């Protein structure tokens, strides 16, 4: 799926270091459908309103398990940065939300 709308953002510290470490440890590319305080803070430049990245879906699906091991609430990265990824178990999103997703371009290493 191609995301047509991309938003360039600059993340405050320590997010860039944390996200680069997570990316370096993943064995494959994982695309996340995110929501919550992280997204609102990133889009509007708010200073670290949350310590987690809530995600609704991971593509590929098995990437979610790896992501939780690497950067979930009980991970070494969480203990170091006090940041973590959290899968949202129940999310009230429209059935057709995917066409409205926006890619967040962080300028981080990919």
The residue ranges of every structural domain in the chain are: 6-105
pLDDT for residue 6 is more than 80:
no
Check whether the bond before 14 is cis (ω within 30° of 0): yes
Confidence of residue 107 (pLDDT cuts 50, 70, 90): low
Spatial separation of the C-alpha atoms in residues 30 and 70, rounded to whole Å:
13
Q: What Rg do the C-alpha atoms of the chain give, in angstroms?
A: 13
pLDDT at 48: 63
pLDDT of residue 75: 97
Q: So what's the pLDDT on residue 37? A: 85
**Does residue 1 register a pLDDT over 60?**
no
């Amino acid at each position: 799926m191609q995301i047509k709308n991309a938003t360039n953002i600059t993340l405050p510290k320590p997010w860039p270091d944390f996200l680069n470490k997570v990316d370096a440890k993943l064995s494959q590319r994982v695309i996340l459908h995110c929501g919550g305080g992280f997204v609102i803070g990133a889009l509007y430049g708010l200073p670290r309103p949350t310590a987690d990245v809530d995600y609704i879906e991971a593509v590929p699906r098995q990437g979610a398990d790896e992501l939780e091991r690497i950067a979930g609430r009980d991970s070494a990265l969480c203990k170091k940065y006090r940041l973590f990824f959290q899968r949202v178990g129940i999310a009230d999103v429209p059935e057709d939300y995917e066409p409205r997703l926006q890619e967040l371009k962080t300028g981080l290493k990919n």
